[in-house]
Structure 1
Amino acid sequence: MKSSCFTLSCVLSAARLAAGSALLGGFLLAHAGVRAPAPDPLQGDGRVSAFYSWDADIPATPGVLLRSEPLPQTLGLPSAARQTRILYSSTDGVEGKSPIAVSGALFIPSGAAPQGGWPVVAWAHGTFGMADICAPSWYGRSWRDVRYLDAWLKAGFAVVATDYQGLGTPGPNPQLNNRSNSFTLLDSVRAVLHGVPGLANDVVLVGQSQGGSAVIAAAGYAPDYAPDLNIRATVATGTIYNASPATLASLAPFKTHLKRDSDRVDPTLAYEFYSVLSAQQIDSTLKAGDVLTDSAAPLLEQARISCLASLEDDARLAGLTRANTVKPGAEARLKTWWDNYLAYPTLHLKAPVFIGAGADDGLAPAELALARDACAAGTTVEAHLYEGLEHNGTLNASLRDSIPFVKRVFAGQPVSPVCEPIER
C-alpha cells in the first residue's frame, strides 16, 4: 500500500506527535535496543517469509508501523480496495514491558473515504493455532471470517487485523493471554493510524471466541495502555469468559451445556493441547504427563506445528475422547494458567458493548454470565441470544444486529441495555 509516511523515522515522529504526553507516561518503555527473539522450533517458529522477522532494534514506542507489503489477493477480502500485510511494534503482554514486533493485515474499503477518514474495525481473531504459519496474514482466513470482515468493509469500515504476539513473528504465542492479545490489538490500530493516511481515530473493537475475550479485555486496558485511541464500541461474539461456578449454575436453561460426554470423540480436544503448550510457557514445572495420557501425548508435539483445523482432524482420527486424553483432576493443574491468562482488568467499560451468543454454543452460559456481570459493573451492554446457533454459526448471524448497533453508537443514539437476552 502506498503511503507518504512509511520510513521508520517518519513513522516514529508521527507516532510520538499523535500519542502525546499520555503515551509518554508509564507505557513509553525504556527498552531501546531490544531485538526479536531467535526462532524456536519448539514454539512453532519458522516456515514464513522474511517479512515477519524484524532484525533491527524494536522501537520502545508501541504502535509504530515498521514495514508493510501488499497482501496476496488470495489472502484478502473481496470488497477491499487495498490490502496490506503489516509489521509493527507492541508490548510483550505476558511480562508487560518488553517491546516486541507483531504482524497483521490492513484492509481498506472501496470508494471515497468519508470526511475525516475511514473509521476502523480492530479485528481480534479466534484460535488458529500456535505455529507461525497459523498467522492469518500468512495462512489466510476461514470463509466464515472472510464473509464477516467483508461485511464490515461494505458497511464503511477499514479493518486492521492483528496476528497476536508470536504468531507469524518469532517467539511463543501465549494463546488466551488477554493482556497480550489486548496490547497487540490496540497497537495494530495505533500503527495504521500513525502510518497510513485516510483513517479516522474512530475505533470499534470486534472479536470472536478467543478474540471476543480479547476485545472485552482491550476495552478495559485501553484507558491506561492506549488513551490516545478513541474507542467508540466493542462487539464480542462466542466470547470465552472465566465466569464463577455459582454464576454458571444459576443459568438454569443452559445447565445441559455444562455437561460433557467424556466418551464421545471430540475434535475440540485440540484446544487442550494448545492449553498445555501455553501453560508450559509460564510454568516450566508442568509436564505433559501431568495433564495428558500417554496415548494422547504424541499429539502435543503435533500441536507445535499444526494449525487448528488440522489438529482437530488429527484428534478425530485418533479417536480422542476426554476420558482417554485428559487425566482425572488434570484441569486443576491448569487452573492458575487459565485464571491468570483469562483475567480482565475491569468489566466497567466506557463504550457500549455488544455481546452475541448462540443458544447451542457450549460457551453460551459463560457469555450470558459475562453480559450479566458487565451490566452489574456499570457497562452499557446490548446482548443477543441466537436460537439454534452454535459457536461458529453465531458470528455472521450476529451482523444483522451488531452493525446497526455500531451505527447507532456512531450516530449518538442511546443504546437500550439488554443484560439478560431472550432466545430468538
Structure 2
Amino acid sequence: MKAKHLTQLLKASFLSCSMIATTLSMAQLPPAPQEKYGDGRVSEFYTWKSAIPAQPGKLLRTEAVHNPYIRLANDSQAIRILYSSTSGKDSKTPIVVSGSIHLPKGNPPKEGWPVVLWAHGTVGLADACAPSWSGRSYRDVQYLNRWLNEGFAVVATDYEGLGVAGPHLLINNPMLAYSILDSGRAALKTKLPLANKFVIVGQSQGGAGAVAASSYSATYAPDLNIKGSIGTGVIYKDPEATPEKNQLKLNPYEVSPSLAYGIYSFLVTQSLYPEIKTEEIFTPEAAPLVEQARNACLTSFMGDIQTAGLSPAQAYNPNPPTSYKKLQEKESNDYGYYPTLKISHPLFIGTGANDRTPDARSQMKLVADACKAGTVVEGHLYHGLGHSETVNASLKDSIPFAKKVIAGEKIQAICKPDLQ
C-alpha cells in the first residue's frame, strides 16, 4: 500500500515538474544584448532578467530619479519605469520597455493629474540614447516643462529597443503605438496621483507615434481613457502615394546632417532582414559612418556626418541590389501605415509651413485624410516655421486644445488650416 502511495506521489511530482518546465520554456525571456543594436552603456535598472509577463502594460520596476539633467525643472517628482509591452516586429512577442514619469508641482486634483503621454522624436538607435537615461534636447525640456506648468503629468516612453536590449525599429507604427499606450497602463499601476485621462502628444517620430497610438487605442488599449491626441511634424506615409514620394528628399550633392535618418533607417531594415550587407548599399567611404550609427545618438551623429563631408551621392552605392528596394517596400507596407484614420477622439496636427522633414504638404494630406475618415481634426499651419521650431510655437494652440478635451468640451474641426 505504501509502495503504491509512493508511486502516485512520484508520478504527481513528475507531472508537476513537467508542467513547470513547459511553462518556463514557453515564457518569453529578454533578448541577449548585441553590439550591432547598440545595446548596453546604461545602468542595471534597464536589464530585466526574469520572464516577461504576457500581459502588456504591467509595471515591472521603478526607481527615483534625482539627476537634474534627467529631471525637469517644473516637476515635483520623477521616476524611471520598466514595463511590459508588445513588440512592433510581430505584434505578439512580449517585450520590456523603459520610460519615465514626471509629476507637476502643487496639489493634484481629487481624481489625480491628467496625463500627457509624451512620444519623443528620433534620438538614435542605441540604448544609451533613451531619454530616460541620457536626457532631452533643450527644445523638449522647454516643451515638457510647459505641460507640467499647465497641470499635466508627463509619462514618457523610451520606445522598444531604447534603454532596454534589442533593436529599435524607428518609424514602426505598431511599435510606437504599443510602447506609448502601455506606458499609460503602467503609469496607472504606480501609486502616483494620476487620473485615467490621457492626451497623447508627440513630435516627428513621436508625432507619427501619437497618431499611431490613437489609431490603435480602441482595439489595443480600450481600458485607457484617451481624450485627445496632439502631433507636430508628423511623419505620414500616404497610402495613395508611391513609395518614392513617401521618402525623405535630400539634395544628393549637398552634405546634409539629415543623411543620419537614412543611415538609421538602413540599420533598422538590416535588423529585420539580416541578409542585407552594408557594402551593397553604401560606399566604402560611408561604411565607417554606418558602423558609427549603431552607437551614436542623433545630435552627435549629425555632427559626424558634417565632419565627414559626405553627400548622399558619395554615401550611397549608385547600384544597390533590386532586392533591397523590395525589402524596403515590404517593411513600409508591414509597419509604415496607420490601421485607420477614423479615430474616436479629437486630433490636433501642428505643421510648420517650412517643414521639409517631413514635407509640410504630407502633413496637410494627413489632416485632409483624417477629416475625410470622420475624425475631428484641428489643423494648424504655422507661417515661416520649420520642423523643430513648430514644437514650442504650437503650444499656444495645443494647450487650449488639451484642456478642452480633458474637460469634455467640443473641438471645432479645422480641416483646411490657413497660414497663421
Taking the aligned partners of 2:162 and 2:249, their CA distance within structure 1 comes to 33
Equivalent position of 1:146 in the other structure: 141
Residue 416 of structure 1 corresponds to 412
TM-superposed CA distance for 1:89, in Å, is 0.9
CA deviation vs aligned residue, 1:264-313 (integer Å, no higher than 9, x gap)? 11011011111011001222222223332222121110001100011101
Q: How does 1:293-308 map to 2 (within 5 A)?
A: 293-308=283-298
Verify the 8 A CA contact 1:31 1:99 in the aligned structure 2: no
Residue 33 of structure 1, CA deviation: 2.5
Distance 1:393 1:329 in 2: 37
What aligned pairs does 1:299-338 form with structure 2 within 5 A after superposition? 299-328=289-318, 332-333=325-326, 334-338=328-332
CA offsets 1:176-205 (integer angstroms, 9 cap, x no match)? 111011101101000010223311000000
Aligned to 2:370: 374
- 3-state secondary structure, aligned to 1:146: helix
CA RMSD of aligned residues (A): 2.1
Q: Aligned partner of 1:155: which letter?
A: E
Q: Could you tell me whether the CA contact under 8 Å between 1:248 and 1:369 is conserved in 2?
A: no
Distance change >3 Å, CA 247–CA 293, structure 1 → 2: closer
Alignment of 1:24-423 (within 5 A): 33-71=27-65, 72-244=67-239, 260-328=250-318, 332-333=325-326, 334-362=328-356, 363=358, 364-423=360-419
Q: Counterpart of 2:290 in structure 1: which amino acid?
A: L
How many angstroms apart in 1 are the aligned matches of 2:90 and 2:147? 33
| Deviation for aligned residue 1:412 | 2.6
CA 1:246–1:133: 2 relative to 1, 3 Å: closer
Matches of 1:377 and 1:328 in 2, distance apart? Answer: 40
Asked whether the 8 Å contact 2:62–2:80 carries over to 1, the reply is: yes
Matched position secondary structure for 1:185: helix
CA contact (8 A) 2:243 2:329 kept: no
How many residues are treated as equivalent by the alignment?
389
d(CA) in 2 for partners of 1:329, 1:396: 42
Change (3 A) 1:384 1:92: same
Amino acid at match of 1:291: I
Q: Secondary structure at the match of 1:108?
A: strand
Mapped to 2, the partners of 1:395 and 1:332 lie a distance apart of 33
- Note the C-alpha offset of 1:247: 9.7
| C-alpha contact 2:342 2:375 (8 A) present in aligned 1 | yes
Partner Cα separation in structure 1 for residue 376 and residue 47 of structure 2: 41
Matched letter for residue 305 of structure 2:
A
3-state DSSP of counterpart to 2:388 = helix
How far apart in 2 are the matches of 1:318 and 1:258? 21
- Give the Cα–Cα distance (whole angstroms) in 1 for the partners of residues 366 and 212 of structure 2: 12
1:237-278 deviation line (CA, Å, top 9, x unaligned): 00111125759999xxxxxx9864221110110111110110
Q: Matches of 1:399 and 1:64 in 2, distance apart? A: 32
Structure 1: distance between partners of 2:167 and 2:91: 15
The amino acid of 1:389's aligned partner reads L
Deviations 1:296-337 (A, max 9, x none): 121110001100011101111111212212234758352332
Q: Could you say which structure has the larger radius of gyration?
A: 2
Structure 1 residue matching 2:185: 3-state secondary structure: helix
- Alpha-carbon offset, residue 341 of structure 1: 2.3
Q: Structure 1 residues 329, 389: closer, same or farther in 2, change over 3 A? A: farther
Question: Is the alpha carbon distance of 1:414 and 1:247 closer, same or farther for their aligned partners in structure 2, counting shifts above 3 Å?
Answer: farther
AA aligned to 2:29 is R
SS in 2 for 1:368: helix
Q: 1: CA distance between counterparts of 2:96 and 2:165? A: 9
What is the alpha-carbon distance in structure 1 between the residues aligned to residue 94 and residue 404 of structure 2? 37
2:46 counterpart letter in structure 1: Y
Q: Structure 1 residues 73, 332: CA separation in 2 closer, same or farther (over 3 Å shift)?
A: same
Q: Distance in 2 between matches of 1:31 and 1:65?
A: 23
After TM superposition, the score normalised by the length of structure 1 is: 0.88
> What's the offset of the Cα at 1:418?
1.1
**1:340 to partner: Cα distance:** 2.6
Matched with 1:17 is: none
Looking at structure 1, the residues matched to 136 and 311 of structure 2 have their Cα atoms a distance apart, in angstroms, of 28
Structure 2: any 5+ residue segments left out of the alignment? Answer: 1-23
CA distance in 1, matches of 2:354, 2:331: 27
Distance 1:246 1:277 in 2: 24
Query: Using a 3 Å threshold, how does the CA distance of structure 1 residues 258 and 171 change in structure 2: closer, same or farther?
Result: closer
Secondary structure (helix, strand or coil) at the match of 1:392 reads: coil
2:346–2:375 contact (8 Å) kept in structure 1: yes
CA distance in 1, matches of 2:257, 2:290: 14
In structure 1, the partner of 2:9 is none
